[in-house]
Structure 1
Amino acid sequence: MNAFNGYASANVVTDHQHWLARHRALEIELMQARQSHRGLKRQTAAAAAIANAPDDTGSDAWMMTYLDMMTLLLVVTMALLAMAGRGHDHAHKDDFNLSQMFNAQELTRLDPPGALLLTPQAKTTVEPKPEPTPAPIIVAEVVAPEPAASVAMPIEVPTPEPVTAPPATAASVKPSVDDLLNELPLDKLGSDIEVVTSESAVSFRISSEIIFPSGQSDLNLGGLRVLQRLIPILESVPHKIIVAGHTDTQDIRSSRFPSNWELSSARAGSVVRYLQSNGISSDRLTAVGYADTRPLGDNATTQGRARNRRVEFILER
């Protein structure tokens, strides 16, 4: 029985929609016919005024009959709709209200094309959330603690221990110049090598005229013999060795050495290569060229210039 009622209700809804669409189409057709009739009437009146002929309205008699028929058809349609809704009014009283659906405003209102295809959206009402009930505030009695008896306790201050410096290791203390001289076998150097000491280093000084030809950076036989006596002394200590080349102020302008800078650097490099080839580690060796920037004598004299031309071996402590 419920299925039958649902099926019947669906048929009623479909019939109502069909008759409503038909009703709107008849209204539009009726309006168009009235407008056509008015336009035709105006044309006829204008033609009669121009031709000075009486207005002949006998030819428009069929239009009045057509309009009456369309009006009658509209009334019959509304009657059928009213009769179709009475049979199911008891089952769907709240769903269909014909008095509200067919009134004067609804019959005379013209909807734009396509408005019948639009489905109205249901309005959703948002219920306000109930406000949370505040929790009751419980007031607890706070009992103040009784003051404790103050007892004076003696405070012991630890006595600072004397700070003793760590014992110095042999690696952290650098040997003095005297200790370094005592380690070196200087009695085997000979008179060609001059020993020079300072507060920070011990150096060996050799004249460039003994180990190099004039204006050259290649070692000669005399220089090789002098360096052979110096190599055992350099090997006996682990210190780094700086080989510094020096010249006088006389310019040497050649294709190989454009200035004294190139000559002093090339002589220092030749000595370093020879020491490395004779067993001294390259990590201990450094070659430096000073040209004539650190003179020992007066470059205006022959003796001073000869003293300035030299190669020094500096041992770093």
Structure 2
Amino acid sequence: MKRKKHEDHVNHEAWAIPYADLMTLLLAFFVVMYAVSVVNEGKYRVMSESIIEAFNGNNKQIQPVHSNNATPVAPVPAKRSSSTTPPSIAPRLAPPLATRSLQPQMTSGSLVSRETGQENLQRIQDQVEKALQPLIDKSLVVVRRTQSWLEIEIRTDILFPSGVARLSEPADVTLRNIAGILAPFPNPLRVEGYTDDMPINTAVFPSNWELSAARAATVARLFSEHGVDPNRLGIIGWGEYKPAADNVSQEGRNRNRRVLVVVLSDQNVPARFSSDAQHAGQLAESAPAPAPASTPQNEVPVAPSLPPGTLPVSAKLEPLRTTPVADAPHGAG
């Protein structure tokens, strides 16, 4: 008699294993998607700069600055070589620091009287307005003049890409034109950098102070390489603390991202550290001149009445030097 074959027991729980595998894969997928969607802007900028630097084949290193105080100093971009290799993204900090007065150390042949300096201001204004009229019509360049100085305000939209201190190609042409106009005149010059209040924290620029000072130094160095006497030049990085407009709107932030080229009538004009925030960079003549102080070597002087976080960074080209500043109301532009 044929033996009856027993049927195998059906496992009704077998679906749980592939279902658990599916849930695990879905969880991993969504975790990866979330990680990709969260972008760290600072790390993205560092990665972008590293990739650009690698393709340019230019390897520059940042040298740290040691000082008695923790006040940030203005970085100076690496000197552009005569070859066609583009400059490095990261500016190089000059190691030696020394305090000095705000007044430039100028040679006797470069000194200019107040009367001659004021006449030069009018001539410079006429030439700048003629050369940059298309940009002035688009409000990308603003030229203002007082009795003691002339201001050429340039929006950083046409100067620098976002978050870096490397000049764009159109900006190089514009600044060369300005340098050609300024070179024949002996008037002292100040290049001032400003930013909006958007935070930045990268290996190159820990804050907007470093970014604004590096941009001012880049413009000043280009001037010195195209005929402007370096003894006439000085730089100031104001960071985000001298806004020309509010930072609530995109238009206001665009106005705050700017570089000012200030042409002084002579070395004895009042300090340009008090301003009306309604006029970007147009500063009051009644501001008292800063009193030079004797400070030890490598000590960074600080204005006593400035609110916390409002100390501008000031330096002069070759060698880099820090500058004492006068009292300034917070929020002036």
Q: TM-score, normalised by structure 2?
A: 0.42
User: Which structure has the larger Rg over C-alpha atoms?
Assistant: 1
More helix by share: 1
RCO higher in 1 or 2 (8 Å CA, sep ≥ 6)?
2
